[in-house]
Amino acid sequence: MESFLSALLFIISVASIFVPLVGVRKPAVNNDQMVTGTLVAQNVLEDLRSKVDSATAPELDSSGNPHTKIYTLPSGSYDVSYNVIQDPTGARQVNLIANWQDMVK
């Protein structure tokens, strides 16, 4: 009987340590995905910036039509949509949105 109670007490104490750790996992994974999504968006912008002098690059058309690229990485799939708007002075504005599915529910 004593061994049963000590085992039960041990299980309860171990569970009380690990339960809070499970609650910390989701914010950590979501934060990692947010940082990765930001890096993916920066890479897309850098790729577009490298094509600024090329008037024939389809990604730089100023029709306002959205372009979509999907990046599959170990931390998840990132869907990047952007459009390029050119004003009368020739300056271009890029509107970019990066989306991803949460890996941890």
Give 92's Cβ-side CA count (13 Å radius): 19
Task: Tell me whether residue 37 is in a domain.
Answer: yes
The alpha carbon dihedral of 54, 59, 61, 62 has a sign of: negative
- Between CA 101 and CA 40, with CA 31 as vertex, the angle to 5 degrees is 65
pLDDT of amino acid 60: 58
Phi/psi at 87 (5° precision): -90, 175
User: Would the pLDDT of 101 be above 60?
Assistant: yes
CA dist list (Å): 28 to 43, 94, 105: 23, 30, 12
Q: What is the pLDDT of residues 36-79, one digit of tens each?
A: 888 888 888 888 777 766 555 555 565 656 778 887 877 778 88
Q: What is the pLDDT of residues 12-28, one digit of tens each?
A: 777 777 666 666 666 76
H helices of 1-105, in order, are: 2-50
Quote the number of domains for the chain.
1
Q: Please give the residue that has the higher pLDDT: either 1 or 89.
A: 89
Task: Tell me whether residue 72 is in a domain.
Answer: yes
User: Would the pLDDT of 96 be above 80?
Assistant: yes
pLDDT of amino acid 34: 84
Task: Tell me whether residue 105 is in a domain.
Answer: no
pLDDT of amino acid 70: 82
| Domain encompassing residue 86 | 2-100
